[in-house]
Structure 1
Amino acid sequence: MKCNMYLSFDGNCEEAMDYYKEVFNGETTVIMRYSEGPPEYSNDAIVNKIMHQTMVFGKDCELKASDSFHEPLQKGNNFHVSISTDIEKEAIDIFNGLSKDGIITMPFEEVFWGGKFGSCKDKFDIQWMVSLEPKSE
């Protein structure tokens, strides 16, 4: 079983996924524009927008996304993308990358359950949680 996060954007999917690709040192494995799909899913306003994109990074991580094609999105607070690693430098770099030009909702620091944790909303209004797993003894 595998769990993937799928993000929707109001026309800036490509910009957002390029940003995440840089933050996570990822690789785009699939990119499909609306112009490549059935005509009923495309119009002049979105023909060059993203119908589907997949980015892979880390060990077995995937992030999938698209531009909404039929109605404006309601940006909400009903999800976070959770990233966990046991390498401190990696956790710090990811948190700093995601929080740049965004809002830190909890600073990345030691937490009562062990390890370190921080949360932020990035410049695209996506909420993230970054965890540094505690060292096992």
Structure 2
Amino acid sequence: MRSDVYLFFDGNCEEAMLYYQDIFDGKFEMIMRYSEGPPEFSSPEIANKIMHATLSFGTNSQIKLSDSFEEPLVKGNNSNISITADDEESGYAIFDGLADGGKTTMPYAEVFWGGKFGSCIDKFGIQWMISAPANDNS
């Protein structure tokens, strides 16, 4: 299992990514723009904005980043704790536990990028993103 910080920006994610890359001497493992995702998640205004980026640095550290256009961002709601579970079942158990007594913002389900993902706000107001790789049934 792994835990990372996921930061959201109001249209200036690319500027922040390059800033953090320079500070942490990092390497981008992934950069996906909204235009590269499903059409229902994009529009001409945001097509070139960042849907997801992963910046790796140090021995085993990452920051995940995204431009968010679903709701106004204010200090305090622009970060999540991102958990990558070892498998779908343990991901569901973690998600279910965190969502209990809180609010599900995206149900834990299969996603277009592979595996499963869900997000919630726990009963203490902490925002969580839980993902798991697809089960290998080969």
* TM-score, with length taken from structure 1: 0.54
Cα deviation, residue 37, structure 1: 0.5
Instruction: Look up the equivalent residue of 2:21 and give its one-letter code.
Output: K
SS in 1 for 2:43: coil
Structure-2 residue corresponding to 1:64: 64
Structure-2 residue corresponding to 1:40: 40
Structure 2 unaligned runs (5+)?
82-138
Q: Matches of 2:56 and 2:38 in 1, distance apart? A: 26
Q: Does structure 1 retain, via aligned residues, the 8 Å contact 2:51–2:66? A: yes
Cα deviation, residue 75, structure 1: 1.8
- Correspondence 1:90-129 to 2 at 5 A: none
Larger radius of gyration: 1
- The count of aligned residue pairs is 80
Instruction: Look up the equivalent residue of 1:19 and give its one-letter code.
Output: Y
Structure 1 unaligned runs (5+)?
82-137
Q: Does structure 2 retain, via aligned residues, the 8 Å contact 1:41–1:69? A: no
* TM-score, with length taken from structure 2: 0.54
Structure-2 residue corresponding to 1:15: 15
Q: Matches of 2:78 and 2:42 in 1, distance apart? A: 28
Q: Matches of 2:37 and 2:16 in 1, distance apart? A: 21
Q: Matches of 2:18 and 2:45 in 1, distance apart? A: 21
The Cα RMSD (Å) is 2.0
Structure-1 residue corresponding to 2:51: 51
